[in-house]
Amino acid sequence: MKKTKETEEYFSVFIDGKPESKGKLKGLTFSFKDNICVKGIETKASSKILEGYKPLFDATAVERIRGEGGQIIGKTIQDEFGFGSFCTNTGIGIKPPKNPVDKERVTGGSSGGSAAAVKVLDNHVSIAESTGGSIANPAAFCGVIGLTPTYGLVSRHGLLDYANSLDKIGVISRNIKDAARTLSVIAGSDGKDMTCTAEKKDYEGYLGESVKGMTIGIPKEYVRGLDPEVEKGFLVTRKILEKKGVRFKDVSLRKNAEYSIPTYYVIAMCEASTNLAKYSGLRYGYTEEIENEHYDNFYSRVRGSAFGEEAKRRILLGTFARMTGYRDAYYDKALKARTILINEYKEAFKDCDAIMHPTMPILPPTFEDAKKLTPLQNYMLDLLTVGANLAGLPHISVPAKNTKLPVGVMFTADHFDEEKLIILGESLE
Pairing relationship of beta strands 215-219 and 168-173 according to DSSP bridges: unpaired
**134 touching ligand GLN, by CB under 6 A:** yes
Give the Cα separation of 127 and 47 in Å (integer): 19
7 or 385, CB closer to ligand GLN?
Answer: 385
By CB under 6 A, name the one of 133, 143, 146, 285 that touches ligand GLN.
Answer: 133
**141 touching ligand GLN, by CB under 6 A:** no
Residue 172 C-beta: closest distance to ligand GLN, Å: 13
For residue 177, indicate whether it is catalytic.
no
For residue 33, indicate whether it is catalytic.
yes
125 or 139, CB closer to ligand GLN?
Answer: 139
Give the Cα separation of 51 and 41 in Å (integer): 11
CB 28, CB 172: distance < 8 Å: no
For residue 280, indicate whether it is catalytic.
no
Number of residues in contact with ligand GLN under rule CB under 6 A:
13
**131 touching ligand GLN, by CB under 6 A:** yes
Q: Which of residues 302-341 bind ligand GLN (CB under 6 A)?
A: none
How would you list the strands of the sheet with 29-33, edge to edge?
11-14, 71-76, 29-33, 124-130, 168-173, 145-148, 395-399, 408-413, 354-358, 215-219, 247-251
CB 19, CB 28: distance < 8 Å: yes
Please, how many CA atoms are within 13 Å of residue 398, restricted to the half-sphere of its CB? 22
Exposed (0-12), middle (13-18) or buried (19+): which is 208, by Cβ within 10 Å?
exposed
**29 touching ligand GLN, by CB under 6 A:** no
268 or 321, CB closer to ligand GLN?
Answer: 268
**162 touching ligand GLN, by CB under 6 A:** yes
Our measurement of the distance from residue 337's CA atom to the centroid of its chain's CA atoms, rounded to an integer in Å, reads 22
- The catalytic residue among 31, 47, 110, 273 is 110
By CB under 6 A, name the one of 46, 47, 85, 99 that touches ligand GLN.
Answer: 85
Residue 129 C-beta: closest distance to ligand GLN, Å: 7
Residue 110 C-beta: closest distance to ligand GLN, Å: 4
| DSSP H stretches of helix in 349-382 | 367-372, 375-380
**80 touching ligand GLN, by CB under 6 A:** no
Give the Cα separation of 242 and 41 in Å (integer): 47
Tell me whether the omega of the peptide bond preceding residue 252 falls within 30 degrees of 0, making it cis: no
Which of the stretches 76-84, 97-105, 213-221, 323-331 binds ligand GLN when contact is defined by CB under 6 A? 76-84
**268 touching ligand GLN, by CB under 6 A:** yes
Binding-site ranges for ligand GLN (CB under 6 A): 82-85, 110, 130-134, 162, 268, 382
